[in-house]
Structure 1
Amino acid sequence: MSTTVTKTRPAAKRQGHVPTHRAVTPRPVRPNPVAGILRRALTGGAALFWTALVVVPVYWLVVTSLRSRADFTTDSPLALPGHPTLDSYRTVLDGDFTTYLLNSVVVTAGTVVLAVAFALMAAFAIVRNAGSRFSRLSFRLFLLGLAIPLQAVIIPVYLLIIKMQLYDSLLAIVLPSAAFALPITVMILVSFLRDVPRSLFEAMIVDGAGDWRMLWSLAAPLARPALMTVAVYDGLQVWNGFLFPLILTQSGDRAVLPLALTLYRGQFGIDVPATMAAVVLSTLPMLALFILARRQLVAGLTAGFSK
């Protein structure tokens, strides 16, 4: 007599279902409120410190320019002037301030035009011939110029200006200032032009445009934010420049504003309110330029550096 053994399978296998496990959801980590408050307090304190570090000197500059020479020695430095006066501004404007201002404008405008024009052409050539050895070597030479301090080459520059018979002229300030502005200007423009799509250049080549046409009709309009950025930066550097005017000029009618500020020093003291008034007046042109070009400046600082 034979017996039949019947094997039964588990219910899960018999029904064709695979048992599943419930996923365990981790609990969200709650931020520490004390750490958040401490972080915000440190950030706010640092912001207030930086604001005070910037605002307090400007406030002292303006307040001092509104004092008389007698009140400057008696009043508290950060207190509001007890008897505000514009005598310091009248003293500055009655002198040769307009001559110094005009010299600074000529030197700054000439330097910016030369530096930006030559830097744009150099940057365009470097970007268009990026694969060539000469292009890479040229770009490295421009970068090397960033490592050369102005003070280290002032004697060779002085000798060159003497040999060229340009001493004691505004051109003696413009040429070396433009040369030292080229490295940083080329670097910024190269970084910006590298982001211009190559298809735009190829489309102009198909239409029969040459390099000069592509430079002035395509590269220059697209690089307008970067051009405005380097123009403002170079202009500030030249406007505040002191070493080249000091070494390469000697006549009073060739002095620029930073050099002219030393003229308010007398035999027995310095007319501090008049000096501060001259500083305030000398900052107004650059402040107006920054206000007019602020949109292009921000666009140039935030674009063109993706590579």
Structure 2
Amino acid sequence: MSHDTLPRPAKTSGRTTPPADKPSRRRRHWTRRPNPVAGAGALIWLVIVLIPVYAMLSASLTGPDQALTGNPLKPPAHPTLDNYNTVLHSGFWHLLSNTAIVAVAVVGIVLALCVPLAYAVVRTRDRWSGAAFRLFLLGVAIPAQAVVVPLYLLIAKLDLYDTLLAVILPTAAFAMPVSVLVLVGTLRDISEELYEAMALDGASALRQLFRLTIPLAKGGISTVVIYSALQAWNGFLFPLIFTQSDEPRVLTLGLFNYVSQFGVNIPALLASVVLSGIPIFAVYLVARRALVGGLMGVGGK
């Protein structure tokens, strides 16, 4: 065969065309089939959730004499902010600061203990780490009401009664089982090759924890932060049992300020609930994506 009869390579332009069997991400997005059943279910659930919230906001803007009259879903005829003014001038800031201290302390204790524990459970594959993990999972099945009497005796023996520590320590203890479960599921999704690469570079276990595990587990850590903060912010049983005076009182107990032997100031009570829910709702809006990502990784690999 002569040199002239050799097949010539086809001329190609500078542009590269994607393979026909791999559509672009944008095209896949537009070709997704809608799910009307799921959309209708989500809409119904949204309405179910928003109706009580709307009724609470509407009632907090009415006068005390109009709280129990008329349609609760009807907008107030003469909205007023007097209820919010009453709440803000009735020790609300003191209650808010105590609740914030409890929430921050609980989150700090849970993260300081649960992150190293979950790391040890995932990286140390022996019977002791597995037994510790199962022991923490046992705490999920134990309700706080079942151990409130022994906890009360323990708090009294430690001379912590009627202090914020009497609320912080039990709340952190009961938030740890679920937090360990979430973190173990998140840490199991980290590739083993990354740990091996850092070990070859001479990284210690402590350095792997801070330089590899914690940065890659932000979703699970955010989930634990929001979960433990909610447990501290909405806690009622431990503040009710372990505190007595006004100094360590938190927001959930502050709602009793609007309950007397002659009746209940419902609009002021609901205004206090609205104001106390704003900070934790703001935290959820900031970390909602990390929260969803952390919850999706609970099961691990």
| TM-score normalized with structure 1 length | 0.83
Match of 2:209 among 206, 211, 215: 215
C-alpha contact 2:182 2:220 (8 A) present in aligned 1: yes
Match of 2:56 among 29, 44, 61: 61
Match of 1:50 among 45, 48, 57: 45
Look up the match of 2:154: 160
The structure-2 alpha-carbon separation of the partners of 1:173 and 1:125, relative to structure 1 and needing over 3 Å to count, comes to same
Residue 75 (structure 1) shift:
3.2
Match of 1:91 among 68, 81, 86: 86
Look up the match of 2:164: 170
Look up the match of 2:72: 77
2:240 aligned partner, one-letter code: L
Larger Rg: 1
Residue 306 (structure 1) shift:
4.2
Q: Which moved more, 1:253-262 or 1:203-212?
A: 203-212
Looking at structure 2, the residues matched to 186 and 48 of structure 1 have their Cα atoms a distance apart, in angstroms, of 33
Residue 43 (structure 1) shift:
5.6
The structure-2 alpha-carbon separation of the partners of 1:201 and 1:279, relative to structure 1 and needing over 3 Å to count, comes to same
Looking at structure 1, the residues matched to 169 and 161 of structure 2 have their Cα atoms a distance apart, in angstroms, of 12
Q: Secondary structure at the match of 1:231?
A: helix
Looking at structure 2, the residues matched to 215 and 43 of structure 1 have their Cα atoms a distance apart, in angstroms, of 40
Q: Which moved more, 1:69-78 or 1:151-160?
A: 69-78
How do 1:16-55 residues align onto structure 2 when only pairs under 5 Å count? 46-55=41-50
Residue 79 (structure 1) shift:
0.7
Looking at structure 2, the residues matched to 91 and 72 of structure 1 have their Cα atoms a distance apart, in angstroms, of 16
The structure-2 alpha-carbon separation of the partners of 1:44 and 1:126, relative to structure 1 and needing over 3 Å to count, comes to closer
Residue 45 (structure 1) shift:
5.8
2:234 aligned partner, one-letter code: N
Match of 1:303 among 286, 297, 300: 297
Residue 48 (structure 1) shift:
4.4
Looking at structure 1, the residues matched to 212 and 156 of structure 2 have their Cα atoms a distance apart, in angstroms, of 41
2:108 aligned partner, one-letter code: V
Looking at structure 2, the residues matched to 299 and 140 of structure 1 have their Cα atoms a distance apart, in angstroms, of 24
Residue 208 (structure 1) shift:
2.0
C-alpha contact 2:188 2:300 (8 A) present in aligned 1: no
Match of 2:262 among 265, 268, 292: 268
Match of 2:103 among 99, 103, 108: 108
How do 1:225-244 residues align onto structure 2 when only pairs under 5 Å count? 225-244=219-238
C-alpha contact 1:181 1:234 (8 A) present in aligned 2: yes
For this pair of structures, how many residues does the alignment match? 267
- Residues 169-216 of structure 1 show CA distances to partners (whole Å, capped at 9, x for unaligned) of 111111111111111100111111111112211222222222211111
C-alpha contact 1:142 1:186 (8 A) present in aligned 2: yes
C-alpha contact 1:63 1:80 (8 A) present in aligned 2: yes
Look up the match of 1:33: none
Looking at structure 2, the residues matched to 162 and 208 of structure 1 have their Cα atoms a distance apart, in angstroms, of 49
| TM-score normalized with structure 2 length | 0.85
1:65 aligned partner, one-letter code: S
| Unaligned runs of at least 5 residues, structure 1 | 1-38
Match of 2:174 among 170, 173, 180: 180
- Residues 23-66 of structure 1 show CA distances to partners (whole Å, capped at 9, x for unaligned) of xxxxxxxxxxxxxxxx95x7666444422321111001000000
Look up the match of 2:31: none
| Unaligned runs of at least 5 residues, structure 2 | 1-34
Looking at structure 2, the residues matched to 206 and 233 of structure 1 have their Cα atoms a distance apart, in angstroms, of 36
C-alpha contact 1:75 1:81 (8 A) present in aligned 2: no
C-alpha contact 2:96 2:250 (8 A) present in aligned 1: yes
Look up the match of 1:122: 117
Residue 76 (structure 1) shift:
2.1
Looking at structure 2, the residues matched to 216 and 306 of structure 1 have their Cα atoms a distance apart, in angstroms, of 20
C-alpha contact 2:219 2:290 (8 A) present in aligned 1: yes
1:135 aligned partner, one-letter code: S
C-alpha contact 2:185 2:297 (8 A) present in aligned 1: no
2:137 aligned partner, one-letter code: L
Q: Cα RMSD between the aligned structures?
A: 1.6
Look up the match of 2:14: none
